[in-house]
Amino acid sequence: MSKRFFGTDGVRGKVGEEPMTADFAMRLASSAAQVLVPKGGTVVIGKDTRLSGYMFESALEAGFVAAGADVLLIGPLPTPGIARLTQEFEADLGVVISASHNPYWDNGIKFFDRSGSKLTDETELKIEEHLQNPAITLGSQLLGKARRIDTARTRYQDFCAASMPDGIDLQGLKIVFDGANGAGYKVGPRTLASLGAEVIPIGCSPNGTNINDGCGSTEPGLLQLTVPALHADVGVALDGDGDRLIMVDENGELIDGDQLLFVLATARHQVGQLQGPVVGTVMSNLGLEKALQARNIDFRRVSVGDRYVLEALKKSGGIIGGETSGHMLVLDKATTGDGLICALQVLAIMKDSGEPLSKLVAGMQKFPQTIVNVRTETRMDPGASTEIQEAVVAAENELADTGRVVLRASGTEAVIRVMVEGEDEEMVVSIANRLASVVADAAAQIALVER
């Protein structure tokens, strides 16, 4: 049985359109309560800085309270902070209102279980089964209560700061921090400053509509200009909900998730603290795989999505994994992807080694890689098209053993991502554009038939 509403990272969509309506949010809360807190319990609710967060916060609060659950309202805080506080408050469920790196007119709702981990596919299916019914309202004596937690931000800041290795602080580092005008806009600069860094904040003035707009990990151009202009040591950029990390070296060069995984894994390996394999995805750069193999570090690929990276790490006993986009896991520090905590681990390596970030990433040579996003009228499976499959086989034959082709449907929007990677950049770009054209034509034919 396939899921209708839950994607790779909770429920997400355009505000005002199903499923991102106040009515749906209330029913979702009611359904989640019936599955996960049927006899009453505690639910933690946090959000990012989107204007629609107020509406969804109120709707979720009403749905949970009506179903008998007590609610702790956290306010704006990074997604991993909600996962952490779910554990700290010994709550039964954590809820985050966020569409991550998407623009402000989108929003989403995602859940954590009591251990701070994302829900399984089976649990999400059970919640969807209840969505067919109206939200329940118990009798007055069985209703839950709601209250705001004023100490949430400082609790999470303390947790992040404590992830630094013993005896290492950030004294002497000048850091430009880009909060994407999102959930990390306060905790990021304050945590870095508490560890002794000189912090220059940008993208830290949210107004409800400027989240991820020209800033953050998805649009780091301003950060790349600011770091060398201010003679800073490094730049740190989160996305809107703070679970992704991109960095900029002292020269203004962008350092992506694959390169950061290389830095984290090799540093741990050198001191004998790397457990299990490093886990990436089918989109991880081939250069990461080859650089780790050259150092006798096991590397494994899984489907795109941090939940699949997490699952593979748990099964293999690994502790470090992530995605090119900067969604990384360091499981001996946090239970879920945490941009700020991962940044602190990289900064600690810089401070301990005395090396700039540019030198730390120099051991990994990235293969030229092009990703073309093909928007479609409706979601589609590229593997279901004979024309697309034939084009993929032809592209793979052209690349031979010097590259890879990956086509995948986005889990959050009607987009097919066409990724081509190889030694020859000109060839890579040409093949990617040809494949994207084939995908666009096939998608148009499918849409025409469906009409």
Domain count within the chain: 3
Catalytic status, residue 353: no
75 and 34 co-located in one domain = yes
Residue 5, domain member (yes or no): no
State how far the Cα of 346 lies from the Cα of 357, in Å rounded to an integer: 8
Q: Hey, what are 185's tokens?
A: 């806009």
- Number of Cβ within 10 Å of residue 148's Cβ equals 10
Of 150, 182, 210, the domain-final residue: 150
Last residue of some domain: 150, 178, 203?
A: 150
Do 351 and 381 reside in the same domain of the chain? Answer: no
Q: Which is nearest to 46 in space by CA: 108, 1, 136?
A: 108
Model pLDDT for residues 254-299, shown as the tens digit of each residue: 999 999 999 999 999 999 999 999 999 998 999 999 999 999 999 9
* Phi, psi (rounded to 5 degrees) for 163: -80, -10
Residues 339 and 256 placed together within one structural domain of the fold:
yes
Q: What does DSSP assign to residue 261? A: H
In angstroms, the CA 361 to CA 11 distance is 35
Q: Per the domain annotation, does 2 fall within a domain? A: no
Residue 4 lies inside a defined structural domain of this protein: no
Per-residue pLDDT for 381 more than 90? Answer: no
Amino acid at 45: I
pLDDT, tens digit, for every residue of 197-253?
Answer: 999 999 999 999 999 999 999 999 999 999 999 999 999 999 999 999 999 999 999
Are 103 and 212 in the same domain? Answer: no
pLDDT at 447 over 90: no
Give the three-class secondary structure for 141: helix
Q: What CATH number should be reported for the domain holding residue 320?
A: 3.40.120.10
Q: What is the CATH number of the domain that holds 418?
A: 3.30.310.50
Q: What is the DSSP letter of 118?
A: B
Query: Same structural domain for residues 348 and 392?
Result: no
Euclidean distance between CA atoms 263 and 266, whole angstroms: 6
Q: Are residues 345 and 431 in the same domain?
A: no
Same structural domain, 213 and 344 = yes
Catalytic option among 31, 100, 284, 385: 100
Domain check: are 198 and 217 in the same one? Answer: yes
* Distance separating alpha carbons of residues 141 and 132, to the nearest angstrom: 26
Considering the domain architecture, whether residues 296 and 342 belong to the same structural domain is answered as yes
Q: pTM of the full predicted structure?
A: 0.90
Instruction: Rounding to the nearest 10 degrees, give the CA dihedral for residues 353, 354, 356, 358.
Output: -40
- Give the closest residue to 322 by CA, choosing from 331, 100, 345: 331
HSE at residue 163, side-chain half, CA atoms within 13 A, is 25
Query: Do the domain assignments include residue 344?
Result: yes
Q: Indicate the residue among 328, 360, 392 that finishes a domain.
A: 360
Q: Do 68 and 189 have their domain in common? A: no
SS3 (DSSP) at 284? coil
Say if residue 375 is in the same domain as residue 413.
yes
Residue 72 lies in a domain: yes
Residue 397 pLDDT > 80: yes
Q: How confident is the model at residue 18 (pLDDT cuts 50, 70, 90)?
A: very high
Q: Looking at the structure, tell me whether residues 139 and 181 fall in a common domain.
A: no
Which residue pairs, CB below 8 angstroms and at least 24 apart, start in 383-388? 383/407, 385/439, 385/442, 385/446, 387/438, 387/441, 387/442, 388/435, 388/438, 388/439, 388/442
- What is the pLDDT, as a whole number, of residue 77? 97
In 3D space, the residue among 110, 125, 113 whose CA is nearest the CA of residue 13 turns out to be: 110
Distance CA(50)–CA(107), nearest Å, equals 8
Query: Is residue 191 packed enough to be buried (19+ CB in 10 Å), middle (13-18) or exposed (0-12)?
Result: buried
Angle at 63 between CA 57 and CA 66, to 5 degrees: 130
Identify whether 1 is part of a domain. no
Structural domain includes residue 50: yes
Using CB atoms within 10 Å of the CB of residue 289, give its burial: 0 to 12 exposed, 13 to 18 middle, 19+ buried.
buried
6 is a domain residue: no
- From CA 213, how far away is CA 123, in angstroms rounded? 34
Rounded distance, CA 338 to CA 135, Å?
A: 33
pLDDT digits (tens, 9 = 90+) for 326-363: 999 999 999 889 999 999 999 999 999 999 999 999 99
- Angstrom CA distances, 427 to 57, 242, 419, stand at 49, 35, 13
> For residue 444, what pLDDT is reported?
87
Domain of residue 75, residue span:
11-150
| 448 pLDDT higher than 90 | no
Q: pLDDT tens, 139-173? A: 999 999 999 999 999 999 999 999 999 999 999 99
